Chains A and B, each alone.
Chain A
Amino acid sequence: MSQPRVAVLVFPGTNSEEETVDACRDAGMDARPILWSEPPADLRSYQAYVIPGGFAYEDRVRAGAIAAKSKSVDVVREEAARGKFVLGLCNGAQVVAEVGLLGDIAIARNLPSGHFQCRIVDIQLSSPPKCCVFTAAMAPGTVLKMAMAHGEGRFTGTPALFDRLEREGRIAFRFKDRAPNGAMHDAAGITNDRGNVLALMPHPERVAWNFNLTFARPPSRREDPRSPSHSHEIFRSMAASLA
């Protein structure tokens, strides 16, 4: 059986495409980096899209604002409307929010810190796993370690909208402790209403192998350092949903 084809979009300033491609490949997907300068129409042949982390267009104007206006992201938005999967990781999540795939949700500057924050954080699956294609294979309440590294990661919108997100199970991931970036409802990852788009601020791909977690998760020292870590579950869920 052929592996599902996944496009990992690369913009000037993206810096996490290699580990994202590797994480997808280790989960059994045929992932390829696609540059911003390649013909946007070629993206339509892929089954899923990952917009990785980094600083696309140097975060000029706002994080994700310029990339969200690109022809490539226009195609991703159209394909998402047809039900294809879109995973936005950190800067990719900012692009996903800027382009409107989450509805009336913005990702704004961290508060109260007001600056870039970088640390390993515990992220908990907080909605029923089946609500989202990227969590469908996880056990309810799963806690994953991820690398938080952003200055603009605060999910925000109206209180009424966030109450609705809670009722609809769209806050897929939550910071286990209080959100360091001040996100409403401690949200770390939010899905669209169909569950085929996930905007996730912390990076699972940067801690996707045991050797990434030897200090943050000491039990991983007893495991094969080259094996995928438990944070790899997002990519395994994605692959399982695409199969």
Chain B
Amino acid sequence: MRIDVVIELIIPDNTAFTVLTALRHLGYAELQAVDRAEHIILTTDENAQPSELVAHLAQAEVVFNPNKHRLSYSVENGATSTEPAELEALVSDKDEDNSRLVRLLTTTFGVSGVRDIERAVGWRLRDTHGPASRERLEWACRELLANRISQRYDIRPRPHAASVRETAAAPTKGGR
């Protein structure tokens, strides 16, 4: 099973603002907003419970800081929205090795059931016409968001995600 954990800042995102400015300078004058999120894509044991696992991941506070992040997740082949989905560009390194992170989470923090982790940065752009088109996202990836030699990108509909706070096992700051 694959679980896409999405971590977004709840404080101002300086990187997204820099990208907004840079893409405008590069010719995308009608660009109005840039949203960025880190994606932690977990490959898990088949019998893993997504809500419990994600709650445990959040509680570990290795990739997630409740003081500055919002966390949501979606399960591959899980529920999808019936509304037309907004497109997002996922940018990831071609050579990545997250084995140390897997070991840290599974051994030190006891987040069991995680076999592998892929990481990516998700970008969503909105201009005066609404969510950016596939062509615009591809242009932004080629121009700035992805290095064609060391990274890859994938343009895809944004999956419907559940907030970790919707789950019964969600950690609360007061319990720490």
Contacts and interface: CB of A to CB of B under 8 A. Distances in A.
A69 B96 CA distance: 26
A110 to B, nearest CB: 10
Contacts of B79: none
Interface stretch (A20-28, A57-65, A231-239): A57-65
B149 interface: yes
A111 B14 contact: no
B19 A60 contact: yes
Nearest to B98: A114
B146 to A, nearest CB: 9
B93 A69 contact: no
Given A69-B22, A111-B95, A156-B95, A98 B14 contact: no
B97 A65 contact: no
Main secondary structure of the interface of A (DSSP, over half): loop
A106 B93 CA distance: 11
Contact of A108 (B93, B100, B145): B93
B49 interface: no
Given A60-B15, A66-B18, A69-B26, A98 B97 contact: no
Interface residues of B, number: 21
B63 to A, nearest CB: 13
A159 interface: no
Contacts of B149: 104-106, 156-157
Interface string A87-110: 000000000001000001111110
B150 interface: yes
A141 B166 CA distance: 62
B144 interface: yes
Contacts of A111: 95-97
A219 interface: no
Interface in B6-37: 14-15, 18-19, 22, 25-26
A159 to B, nearest CB: 12
Most chain B Cβ neighbours within 10 Å, of A62, A69, A98, A156: A62
A69 B147 contact: no
A69 B25 contact: yes
Q: Interface size for chain A: under 10, 10 to 19, 20 to 34, or 35 or more residues? A: 20 to 34
Contacts, number: 54
Contacts of A98: 147
A62 B147 contact: yes
B18 to A, nearest CB: 5
A218 interface: no
Contacts of A61: 15, 18-19, 22, 144-145
Contacts of B147: 62, 65, 98, 106, 108
Interface string B58-95: 00000000000000000000000000000000000101
A60 B93 contact: no
Interface in A53-76: 57-58, 60-62, 65-66, 69
Contacts of A114: 97-98, 100-101
B150 A108 contact: yes
B145 to A, nearest CB: 7
Contacts of A108: 93, 95, 147, 150-151
Nearest to B16: A60
19 contacts: A60-B18, A60-B19, A62-B151, A65-B144, A65-B147, A66-B22, A69-B22, A104-B149, A105-B149, A106-B149, A107-B150, A108-B95, A109-B93, A109-B96, A111-B95, A112-B99, A114-B98, A114-B100, A156-B95
Interface of A: 57-58, 60-62, 65-66, 69, 98, 104-109, 111-112, 114, 156-157
Interface of B: 14-15, 18-19, 22, 25-26, 93, 95-101, 144-145, 147, 149-151
The 3 A-B residue pairs with the shortest CB-CB distance, nearest first, are A106-B150, A106-B149, A108-B150
